[in-house]
Amino acid sequence: MEKTIKQDEIVNFLKKYGFVFPCSEIYNGLANAWDYGPLGVLLKNNLKSLWWKYFITSKANMVGLDSAIFLNPNVWKASGHIESFSDPLIDCKHCKKRFRADKIINDQVKNAKINENSSLESLQKIIKENHIKCPNCQHEDWTEIRKFNLMFQTNQSIVKDKENTLYLRPETAQGIFINFNNIQRTSSLKLPFGVGQIGKSFRNEITPGNFIFRTREFEQMEIEFFCFPQQAAEFFNFFLNEINFFLLKKLKLNKEKIKTYEHPKNDLSHYAKRTIDFQYRFPHGWSELWGLSNRTDYDLLNHQKNSGKNLMYLDQKNGKKIIPYVIEPSVGVERLLYAIICDTFTYQKIKDNDYREVLCLSYELCPYKVAVLPLSVSLINDAKEIYQQILNANISATFATSGSIGKRYRKQDAIGTYYCLTIDFETANDQCVTVRHRDTMRQKRIKISEINNFLSKKMINE
Which of 31-39, 296-304, 326-334, 351-359 is the region at the interface with ligand GAP (rule: CB under 6 A)?
Answer: 326-334
Rounded to 5°, angle at Cα 212 from 24 and 142: 90
Do 337 and 212 form a contact (C-beta atoms < 8 A)?
yes
CB of 315 to ligand GAP, least distance (A): 26
Is 100 among the residues that bind ligand GAP (CB under 6 A)?
A: no
Mode of pairing for the β-strands spanning 370-374 and 419-423: parallel
Is 329 among the residues that bind ligand GAP (CB under 6 A)?
A: no
CB of 278 to ligand GAP, least distance (A): 8
CB of 365 to ligand GAP, least distance (A): 17
CB of 290 to ligand GAP, least distance (A): 5
Residue number, 328 or 357, with CB nearest to ligand GAP? 328
Is 173 among the residues that bind ligand GAP (CB under 6 A)?
A: yes
Residues present in the chain in total: 462
Residue number, 332 or 416, with CB nearest to ligand GAP? 332
Helices and strands: H and E segment counts in the chain: 15, 23
Residue number, 142 or 211, with CB nearest to ligand GAP? 211
CB of 149 to ligand GAP, least distance (A): 14
CB of 222 to ligand GAP, least distance (A): 6
Within 189-228, the residues that bind ligand GAP by CB under 6 A are 203, 205, 214-215, 218, 220, 222
Is 334 among the residues that bind ligand GAP (CB under 6 A)?
A: yes
Instruction: Please name the residues in contact with 330: beta carbons below 8 A apart, sequence gap of 6 or more.
Output: 171, 173, 220, 221, 222, 223, 290, 291, 292, 293
Residue nearest to ligand GAP (CB): 332
Residue number, 13 or 202, with CB nearest to ligand GAP? 202
Side by side, the strands of the sheet bearing 86-91 are 98-100, 86-91, 146-149
Residue number, 215 or 412, with CB nearest to ligand GAP? 215
Instruction: Please name the residues in contact with 75: beta carbons below 8 A apart, sequence gap of 6 or more.
Output: 174, 178, 303
Within 251-280, the residues that bind ligand GAP by CB under 6 A are none
CB of 173 to ligand GAP, least distance (A): 4
Mode of pairing for the β-strands spanning 153-155 and 20-22: unpaired
HSE, CB side, 13 Å, CA atoms: give it for residue 78: 22
Kindly state the number of chain residues that form the binding site for ligand GAP, as judged by CB under 6 A. 19
Helix (H, G, I), strand (E, B) or coil at 160: coil
Cis, bond preceding 88 (omega within 30 deg of 0): no
Binding mask 285-324 for ligand GAP (x = CB under 6 A): ---xxxx---------------------------------
Distances (CA, A) of 100 to 86, 134, 135, 203, 224: 10, 11, 11, 14, 29
Mode of pairing for the β-strands spanning 20-22 and 34-36: antiparallel
Residue number, 212 or 386, with CB nearest to ligand GAP? 212
Instruction: Please name the residues in contact with 34: beta carbons below 8 A apart, sequence gap of 6 or more.
Output: 20, 21, 22, 23, 211, 212, 215, 334
Is 387 among the residues that bind ligand GAP (CB under 6 A)?
A: no
Which of 31-39, 325-333, 350-358, 397-405 is the region at the interface with ligand GAP (rule: CB under 6 A)?
Answer: 325-333
Do 294 and 274 form a contact (C-beta atoms < 8 A)?
yes
Residues that bind ligand GAP (CB under 6 A): 171, 173, 203, 205, 214-215, 218, 220, 222, 288-291, 328, 330-332, 334-335
